[in-house]
Structure 1
């Protein structure tokens, strides 16, 4: 063997084995678009932020709220909550964490410049934050908010002394990435990799790993190859087509859980006139936006074989659905079934709406965010073409897709939402409710659906303190939304991870890949 080949072999061995036994390498399926924990309300960003920053309340693997920086919370009145904070917590730079940092974070989170997906919805009713003492916080809400502790799981706490005046670029550069979390940021390369090291002063249990490298590997085949070669020790969202091979490998373990992420279609409601990616069959823009006609939305929904998407495209790693939560979830409505594919009825509805010969449109989707997202969009396009709606698919990297979506640049998109709160109100609040920036409602309603009657129904439901009555009201709002097809639900994903032995992972309903849940079996 020549010296060059020997050097190459040694480099390959070094790549396939961790530098130290307490180092860990993870392959992520989607990019983390910013280290700023308040920049974008997206699962990849929020999942990574948990390593650097702590929220007041965290969700367990089953979605239930658990104490974190807040040890306890009490509803003193319907509109007044008191949070007792954890003593002895310090920031990565050694300065003490106090209630003032929480007040600063609540003020910053909804107002980050150029945010493509605001966190304002989680703080929509927070009217006043009072620092009683360094470890006591009182929150006055503008309306009864029974889900406030769950809502606050979305808000990472950043320090006032570092964050005041800091920009998103400062967080990305590491300058402002000073948290209270179990790890400290070492480096961030957008779309490529992130490195963190263990925070020895973390208030929580000692972590098993000294250094962790997160590699962004959007291609599912490349993620599988990286795992099998030992280039990484754990991957998120293994491809469903690779799962049989991974299950048969004695060096690999699979960890699964039914998730709460729904994949759906969001039509453009922002325009009454021509919509940019819809035309007649000759390519001329239509004078009115057909997506605002319920019959057209019904036709597009009935053209879809949800069972086919779940079984063939997602290869069993999804369930067909007509709503956005699985059976048994808080607010799930059993009266909302899975719409059957009915091509004849779909064509009839199009004719009733004035499109007997259909029309043309472009469906936009991400190509690196969800399992088989591009393939699913292509399958939907083929189904629509069968009813005369000639559909072109344009897929984009998620970061680009999200930025353009926030500007209402599309005519219809394939979209998704993970209801990490574990209940159906999350979608109603963030996506279905009319966009109302001053009130922090509909913060992710990027296609600008508007229904004042449903808005009132949603607000009343989410302000109902009695749990049983609140669930009934949420379920009724779910049905009203699906009847009007504010969005067109298609499938619910199953969450999965694959790890090399002897690692184990505690699978999570919210799909988050957390180093804190990765253990080495002794």
Structure 2
């Protein structure tokens, strides 16, 4: 990320890819991206700006501090049974949705079940949901999915000990808004023109128009004055307004940053070199968490039974190992990221060192690029007639 360091107020958006906005104050933050916000629906978006927007509008049970540690958000605490299969969360009271209605424990139960009981339709958070016990018949009910067993507690039932259960990484949505929308609609057609969350920022009333008019218009979020304290935070944000602005090319975005039209920009390795060292410009280079999107995808459903079964190859260690061996990650780092990346070897990114290890140092799990060995692994696992 690149930031413009200025003692005065920032100027309005200008340039070929933006229209002027009202004059900013020192409490406004304008962020530039090359990607668009590709959906206002938290179950459809793919791009980084979309997930930034979701994180500002919606809350999760837990947030993360700057060191990647869990801090309370809509949940005050999490505890598990003796083997950590079933997790119970104490839910925060006194929270209000952006539309003014009270947040309740039913919203948490609904949000988790909406995702975990529909993983063949809602795929965005499926990696965190697929170990939650499926319910037969009507739910919620005790023993499966999410269930409220006391006024401000929710228990989630997993099919095995599950460390990520401590956070249940899924945005909490308002039951009243979403209960009439099927999971199929949520995944494929519902535009969510009026995002309603409990998060630190509220979507502008015109955000759907702003979204449709990208890049000519920036998406506007304003401070939630009633935001509840989260972790080390003390309540409402000191920032009054956030503007998310798409640019059609990096040169235009760099010029906007240097002129003070935007305060912060997400740039490529090549782009950062055009502004680095300029007056009043600060740069921050670091690993992004690519443990979800920048990956090779595998068909989720079993090709022989798409509606009821997951593809068994997704869980086959031999398939995973062969794919890792067949991917030249050093080439990706040196060419695509121009040497500014770090090779990863699994969905656990080096950005989370407490979970990641380097398998190239383990003779029993060496995943160094080797096409011949990758083919040998597949052949030994019985895939020789299918894949090569």
Task: Settle same-fold status: TM greater than 0.5.
Answer: yes
- The residue matched to 2:54 in structure 1 has which SS? helix
1:110 is displaced (CA, Å) by: 4.5
More deviation, 110-119/56-65: 110-119
- Judge conservation of contact 1:52–1:179 (CA < 8 Å) in 2: yes
- Distance in 1 (CA, whole Å) between partners of 2:67 and 2:289 is 10
Structure 1 vs Structure 2 CA RMSD: 4.2
- The residue matched to 1:94 in structure 2 has which SS? coil
Q: What is aligned with 1:357? A: none
User: How many matched pairs?
Assistant: 316
- Distance in 1 (CA, whole Å) between partners of 2:298 and 2:155 is 40
Q: What is aligned with 1:48? A: 53
Q: What is aligned with 1:261? A: 290
Q: What is aligned with 1:311? A: 334
1:180 is displaced (CA, Å) by: 0.7
The structure where helix makes up a greater share of residues is 1
Aligned equivalent of 1:34, options 12, 23, 39: 39
- The residue matched to 1:253 in structure 2 has which SS? strand
- The residue matched to 1:81 in structure 2 has which SS? strand
Task: Say whether 1:137 aligns with 2:166.
Answer: no
- The residue matched to 2:342 in structure 1 has which SS? strand
Of structures 1 and 2, the larger Rg is shown by: 1
The structure where strand makes up a greater share of residues is 1
Question: Which whole-Å deviations, capped at 9, do the CAs of 1:22-57 have from their partners, x for residues lacking one?
Answer: 322111243332222233576543332111110111
- Judge conservation of contact 2:112–2:145 (CA < 8 Å) in 1: no
Q: What is aligned with 2:5? A: none
Aligned equivalent of 1:251, options 269, 272, 280: 280
- Distance in 2 (CA, whole Å) between partners of 1:298 and 1:46 is 27
Question: Which whole-Å deviations, capped at 9, do the CAs of 1:365-384 have from their partners, x for residues lacking one?
Answer: xxxxxxxxxxxxxxxxxxxx
Task: Say whether 1:122 aligns with 2:128.
Answer: yes
Q: What is aligned with 1:76? A: 81
Q: Which runs of 5+ in 2 are unaligned?
A: 1-11, 133-143, 230-234, 304-317
Question: For 1:293-442, what aligned pairs fall within 5 Å after superposition?
Answer: 301=327, 304=328, 306-324=329-347, 325-326=349-350, 328-332=353-357, 333=359, 334-335=361-362, 339=368
- Judge conservation of contact 2:44–2:124 (CA < 8 Å) in 1: yes
- Distance in 1 (CA, whole Å) between partners of 2:226 and 2:158 is 34
Question: Which whole-Å deviations, capped at 9, do the CAs of 1:234-276 have from their partners, x for residues lacking one?
Answer: 112x12123234221121111222334265556889999xxxx
- The residue matched to 2:254 in structure 1 has which SS? helix
Aligned equivalent of 1:60, options 65, 75, 82: 65
- Distance in 2 (CA, whole Å) between partners of 1:259 and 1:47 is 13
Aligned equivalent of 1:173, options 178, 185, 193: 193
Aligned equivalent of 2:227, options 157, 182, 202: 202
Q: What is aligned with 1:109? A: 115
- Judge conservation of contact 1:75–1:82 (CA < 8 Å) in 2: yes
